[in-house]
Structure 1
Amino acid sequence: MLRLGAPARRPRGGSFDVVIIGAGPAGLTAGMYASRLGLKTVILEKAMKPGGRTANAPIVEDYPGIEKIGGEELVDRFVKQAQKFGAQIVYGEEVVDADFSGDVKIVKTKKGNEYKGLAVIIATGLSSKGLGIPGEKEYFGKGVSYCVVCDAPFFKGQPMALIGNDDHAMEEAVYMTSIASKVYIIPHADKIEASESYMNILRNSPNVEILEGARLVKIEGDGQKVTKIVVRLPDGTEREIPVRAVFISAGEVPTTEIFKKAGVEVDKAGFVKVDPKMHTNVPGVYAAGDVTGIGFQIVIAAGHGATAALEASKHVKRLKRVKKIQI
């Protein structure tokens, strides 16, 4: 199996036909289609591995043509196909600014790199909400995170807490079991409402402790890093738990603020508005997958990605043919 997150090449900016933001099922499928159509394609992913939530799923049983497969293996197949046709994937590359005003779109990243493209496909998925708990803001980036895939590997071999009570939270907890020395699950609700398949895995994991009905009270540290959390148990008593990382999974919102500032229309919930062919209101800019608020299924995201890439290809070829633009 391909080692996820280990591309052969890592461009640091540059000019491309298509710039894809996000390496989940939508972005990877878009990358595979775009590169197969002969477009110079780059996929930017802020995490250090591809796949997003799909990579964390222990089992995927609803992808057509595949009866049963692990999420990581399915993502691995997406990656191999995209790279086979020439798509470049850059990990740890978080987009922080964008300029979509001209025919040549500009995307800037946190590392100071600049990517130019004749088309952009937004496939950034969803991100977790915060809780407003004391210490959450103060220790963000110092042990508090909203992205297990992005940050859990930095705390390998150390105790961690997962705050959440739904399927997505339990998917993340399952992923954490292979990284953390101990995983404390704090529902921050009266009960956990997740699939039994996830709960069976977690209940049978020797390094997992599930605190049913517990709520997070505060996060504490030494000023530089998280050292413990305080939780309130159902009987009203409080318990201190030493942890090095706290991952908060309290609902999700689309990651679109940067694109909204660049002129892309979003709805009241922040999802990117698209037509049936994944066009946004900005010519040459497309969106695919969960960021559109449609479906929230792997197969739907993949279909979006394919459609967006096909439309992006038409746009790029038109610009090259009519306006003689080369990138």
Structure 2
Amino acid sequence: MLRDAARGFLDDAAPVSNLRANRDAGRPYDPALWDEMVKMGWAGVLIGEDDGGSDMGFAAANTLAEEMGRTLAASPFLSTAVIAATTLRRAGAPGLAEIASGAATYALAIDEGPKFAPAATRMAARADGNGFSLSGTKTFVGEGTSATRLLVLAQSEAGPTLFSIDAERAGISREKLDLVDSRDHARITFDDVVATGEDVVGEVGQGLAALAPGLRAGQAALAAELTGLSAGAFAMTAGYLKERKQFGRHIGSFQALQHRAAHLWSEIEVTASTIVNAGRVLDATPDEADLAVSLAKARATETANLAVREGVQMHGGIGMTDDFDMGFYMKRARVAAEWLGDYGYHAAVVARARGDAA
């Protein structure tokens, strides 16, 4: 029921043309669309009822993310309703009611280099009176220009520490990054930004532990989005195969293209099962979900790559033009493949969990 409701809403309110309109208007996402998502309870899908949420669980959050991927719907859902909500809830930190109501949106400021590596964080959190002074630069920050609050990982004397701070706090500057997927990404610089003890999420020096539940949830939801993206690209490609004629025949009747389409469909189905499994494990034993989540993200990355390459090739020349929507799927797949860990990162997690790597 949730999937059907989400698909009906997104097909009507957030088709791929909506992403094109956002890009052309220079806006990170459609605020009216996010307001509607909030009204439907999507912002509180992982928040308890006492804080205004519906507490439907990770499998439900993945279902919503997958349907958003089908139409490339742009919103702060992943960074806010999944990563921030899970992190704050597990840490017992305030702010959940503001997320559920739509009053606050979050961005995750952890990346500093070309690859996802939270443990390699070098941004400084220098002790300053009863609080901290944050200095350094974060890059590839999803929803970085639009978020009202930031989850920031920095190195204190006691070790990595996670902070939740107002995005407009003095000393913070945000620079928009123009990535190929036309979504909201930023480079954020912190220049002696004051953070108090109340801004700390979890315990001082235990930032990686505080962040881990949110990262697992976000990686699973991003994998779900990529799987939905693959299904959306496949549906567009299959529709084109049934319409385009060559040599007096629909090209979908050519056996070589049928084999390729069947192979892609099979890969999407197998990957979809890893998404279901990741949601199940996160709901049942969230602290033991690393293998299930990384398997889902690795497979979803590879499947999306296959889906968009096949989509562009089977569309022929028009698949490479901006006038046709297939290119938007390829661009989003490329960026999402890197966020929260690329294929190599998650394949290594799977290998270690299986005892195949040191």
TM range (shorter): under 0.3
| Structure with a larger share of its residues in helix | 2
- Higher relative CO (Cα under 8 Å, sequence separation at least 6) belongs to 1
TM-score (norm 1): 0.28
| Structure with a larger share of its residues in strand | 1
TM-score (norm 2): 0.26
